[in-house]
Structure 1
């Protein structure tokens, strides 16, 4: 089986890293379901894929809602084919120092990142097991190592790493691999919003970040997409349970 006969789901695919991953996987020959909370927001990504000759489907779903996830995966299977590649990219931030962080801030981040990845993977894994092939790529972050003002996000992204390793143990015998990508500073709407919250000019914010990165630049969504492309390929079949830091330099 080659990539042209496979179907991928990319959550949080309307913008940023998710959109870049969706476009790259489509260029690799996969049919791609672009999943986001607002289906209409996926239009630009889907249009870019189809304009380049690929197959894509916009799917609106709340990854933290069990029924929404089940309906979305069923729709993808019916309209594009059984999904055997899943990129759990959907994520939000609700940054604050611990003493200012509300329970809602905590729960919202945990629900999208961890509950969302759990529900999506549980729904898709049956298709992978039946096909005796599967690729799960979970988006973690360098924040998993700890980051001031991100107790919720850091905990969620560290949790994604433990989730990934457990998937590798449980699903490996069915031909399914699971790996995590932990991006460093990537130029997206999310990092622009972070700069705005800090009252910093985004260009200055990027320059300060680049000065601390060994390769002397900030990352682009395409940097993550290239890594995801490898991890879902046939050639990565012996790579599983790994956390790949795509951060322009080493991380502990």
Structure 2
């Protein structure tokens, strides 16, 4: 019997169907913090491009650029306002979202703040604010939306119920300089990711974190504006450049979709090779 070789059109169709099976997020709803700029914006838009509707958590509605971009792809975008520096506001956020009937199956915690001081002069107020926004708010949203995901009907073929994608940092592994609060918070995010994975992976909720390397965003403005420090950082990055927000699109879609169903508790570094140096 002769071997049947698919036509170019049939082959392209098979490839498209295969990629859709692994990476399509059609019908999914994602909650994203920090989505108005930088890495968070790229993550939110990548999820929308892959088919998900997006709920953006923002401090206010002064910046609707991400919402408009998502809607331009034909996806729904909702904005819920909350100050992540207020635990009271964070504590009521999930109830507001779920109370409006949103079937959330993806959570991305990208919002973060930075405060830089010498460790021996670090103000307690800045310490508390960094830990609140970068760790306590992450924990609260993971707990509350994760609890909802655990109640969702599992996918009939895979048993999958939801995906949590936290955003850690190189200082989850390294101490950094003049950022003790940020290092403590991001170290906590890394361990929280593993702890939640240990409890939830068997119930169909995958919990992972993306670990950005040095990325040219406003959070790293102090480093970028220090020529000596910026040059020393660049010299250590094997890829030979600082990261860009769009470098995080593929990792985000991967960790949210069916292609990563056996990936949980992972800290996926997107750093141009920094940690391998």
Q: What TM-score, normalized to structure 1?
A: 0.90
Query: Using the alignment, how far apart are the partners of 1:82 and 1:193 within structure 2?
Result: 39
Which deviates further from its counterpart, 204-213 or 138-147?
204-213
Instruction: Report whether the alignment pairs 1:156 with 2:185.
Output: yes
1:167 is matched with 196
Counterpart of 2:53 in structure 1 is 31
Say how many residue pairs are matched.
246
Task: Give the conservation status (yes or no) of the 8 Å contact 1:10–1:89.
Answer: yes
Q: Which residue of 1 aligns with 2:124?
A: 103
Over the residues paired in the alignment, what is the CA RMSD in angstroms? Answer: 2.1
Q: Deviations over 1:192-227 (max 9, x none)?
A: 24444xxx36xx875553332101011011112321
Gapped runs of 5+ residues in structure 2?
1-20, 155-160
Map of 1:191 onto structure 2:
220
2:232 and 2:274 mapped to 1: Cα distance? 18
Give CA-to-partner distance per residue, 1:68-111, whole Å, 9 cap, x none.
23543344335572211001111100111111101111111111
Aligned to 2:25: 3
The answer for the alignment partner of 1:112 in structure 2 is 133
Matched, 1:92 2:113: yes
CA distance in 2: counterparts of 1:248 and 1:106, whole angstroms: 29
| Aligned pair partner of 1:134 in 149, 156, 162 | 162
2:115 and 2:84 mapped to 1: Cα distance?
17
**Which of the two has higher C-alpha Rg?**
2
Aligned to 2:171: 143
What are the equivalent positions in structure 2 for 1:5-84 lying under 5 Å apart?
5-41=27-63, 43-77=64-98, 79=100, 81-84=102-105
Q: Which whole-Å deviations, capped at 9, do the CAs of 1:119-168 have from their partners, x for residues lacking one?
A: 11112012211123111111111122111111111111111110000000
Cα distance in 1 between the residues matched to 2:99 and 2:45: 21
**Contact kept? 2:207, 2:264, Cα under 8 Å:** yes
Quote how far apart the aligned CAs of 1:40 are: 2.6
1:219 paired with 2:247, answer no
- Taking a change above 3 Å as real, the CA distance of residues 205 and 176 of structure 1, as seen in their structure-2 partners, is same
- In structure 1, distance between residues paired with 2:112 and 2:199: 24
- In the superposition, the TM-score normalised over structure 2's length comes to 0.82
Secondary structure of the residue aligned to 1:83 is coil
- In the other structure, the counterpart of 2:267 is 243
> How far apart in 1 are the matches of 2:87 and 2:179?
26
